[in-house]
Structure 1
């Protein structure tokens, strides 16, 4: 069995047509047909059946496709890691991040790193708390920023990079908008603009309100910090946001007031799969991030 046979098999399975597969592979149609025939002979299996002008996978062909795609993906990753091992200043860093870090923190650290390692590429994946951990454990990414940092997780490990304060945000015309600080209980009668259930900031806000004796009234829900900030600025409620998510972009901005009691914070960490080696290029970026936040 040859590697090119596996590539040809996957292409035909996806295109359901030898001619279209040959065009994608930039080879003659006869070469594709011959390699598929040789593969079926070697395995003693029928992988395709003719359906009109198309080829469809047999049940055993479908089973084989799933396995072969995994093998080719693993092989591609091994070759990439080998190149990265020879030169960890090149290669691709696959990293996840929550939306609230995508406005400022992530672009800043990526730009700083590329100044000293301009040939490194980044593959970025945005997600919620649970989806980032899932993508990490499934091997789709090698590192991930996360908030809050997951203590004592069975599948991931890492370190806290920083702890960030959350502020109350209010419509600019709110009676408390010009206060230096406020007690969270002063907002108990206000409608809250909340993150949806998939977002960790929702749990942080609910917990803070519970600590001072009330359950917030839900006015509106949103999935991104820009949405939360915009709805509050439009006068539709109040909320709590991390400082780095309260950036002035556009004419409509909420008022930002420090919380005197209770002090509400979130941890931001960097995680990786527990007990597994990651590519050298990602390992070097992890070291850079730890040093970067120590200096900050």
Structure 2
């Protein structure tokens, strides 16, 4: 069974006429008739029945048509995806990101890229540290921003894009709210507002507190930077957040204080599947990110 036979079959089924189908495909009528005949011989059934001047599908022909149309649609989509894979000015980039990067960084990066690549589409997926690594490993994402950057991994590889400072955030009426900088140990008696356990920012803050000589008392937990920031601004406790998560303004804002002892940072990196060739458009975006973050530095 040949692809050409299936294409001829579908065209005749739609036109209900061999001559009209042949004219539209710019081939000889005899060639179309012969291929349909060979297809019916191979299947061992009649796909068409003559009614007047037109050809009508038999019941088995109707069943076969529904299957063949799906096959040809999938094939056409696959060919299109290959063309997009090889075209740096088209196609789609599947990219993942943690919540803490969505407020400012991701929209800015995509907007800057699309100025020179307006036809590129993005499919975005938010996730946690583990889910982003999993989705890149399985090939469900081309690229993912991640923090902290994994130093080594069996299934993903990538590069660090930036190192970002974490600031203490305090209720506006906190005794330390007007300080320019503090030592983290000065917050040992305060209640903390923390991310849930599946978020890596929690482990970064916990490790910093232990390094400062205390275990934080966790009063509230949340899953979004807006929630953490809002609870702190409302006086529910203190916390640490990366600088990018504190760029957006609002009515209720906590005090933002630099932590000098220890200085708390996180790495932000870009990962891709190990030993997997990226679609060309995704690789163009990856190289664009290197230049973009060098400019920011």
TM-score, structure 1 length as denominator?
0.76
Conserved? CA contact 1:80–1:91, under 8 Å: no
Partner of 1:172: helix, strand, or coil? coil
1-structure distance, mates of 2:154, 2:285? 23
2-structure distance, mates of 1:256, 1:29? 75
- Cα distance change, pair 142–254 in 1 and its aligned pair in 2 (3 A): same
Deviations 1:219-271 (A, max 9, x none): 10000101100000010000000001012432100000000100000000000
TM-score, structure 2 length as denominator?
0.76
Conserved? CA contact 2:86–2:281, under 8 Å: no
Q: CA deviation at 1:185?
A: 0.6
Structure 1: gaps spanning 5 or more residues? 5-27, 40-67
Q: Does 1:188 pair with 2:188?
A: yes
- Cα distance change, pair 251–167 in 1 and its aligned pair in 2 (3 A): same
Partner of 1:256: helix, strand, or coil? strand
1-structure distance, mates of 2:151, 2:174? 38
Conserved? CA contact 1:81–1:279, under 8 Å: no
Partner of 1:269: helix, strand, or coil? strand
Following TM superposition, the consecutive aligned residue runs of length 4 or more in structure 1 with deviations greater than 6 angstroms are 1-4, 36-39
- Cα distance change, pair 186–89 in 1 and its aligned pair in 2 (3 A): same
1-structure distance, mates of 2:173, 2:96? 37
2-structure distance, mates of 1:96, 1:38? 35
Q: CA deviation at 1:34?
A: 1.9
Aligned alpha-carbon RMSD (Å):
2.6
Q: Which entry has the higher C-alpha Rg, 1 or 2?
A: 2
Structure 1 partner of 2:64 = 35
Q: Does 1:162 pair with 2:162?
A: yes
Partner of 1:250: helix, strand, or coil? coil
- Cα distance change, pair 173–37 in 1 and its aligned pair in 2 (3 A): closer
Deviations 1:96-116 (A, max 9, x none): 000010000000000000000
Deviations 1:148-194 (A, max 9, x none): 00011111000000000000000001000000100101101111000
Structure 2 partner of 1:263 = 263
Structure 1 partner of 2:11 = none
Partner of 1:153: helix, strand, or coil? coil
Structure 2 partner of 1:215 = 215
Structure 2: gaps spanning 5 or more residues? 7-56
State how 1:281-296 maps to structure 2 within 5 Å: 281-296=281-296
1-structure distance, mates of 2:247, 2:58? 57
2-structure distance, mates of 1:29, 1:168? 74
State how 1:84-99 maps to structure 2 within 5 Å: 84-99=84-99
Q: CA deviation at 1:295?
A: 1.9
- Cα distance change, pair 179–38 in 1 and its aligned pair in 2 (3 A): closer
Partner of 1:226: helix, strand, or coil? helix
1-structure distance, mates of 2:191, 2:275? 45
Conserved? CA contact 1:232–1:239, under 8 Å: yes
1-structure distance, mates of 2:219, 2:90? 48
Partner of 1:213: helix, strand, or coil? coil
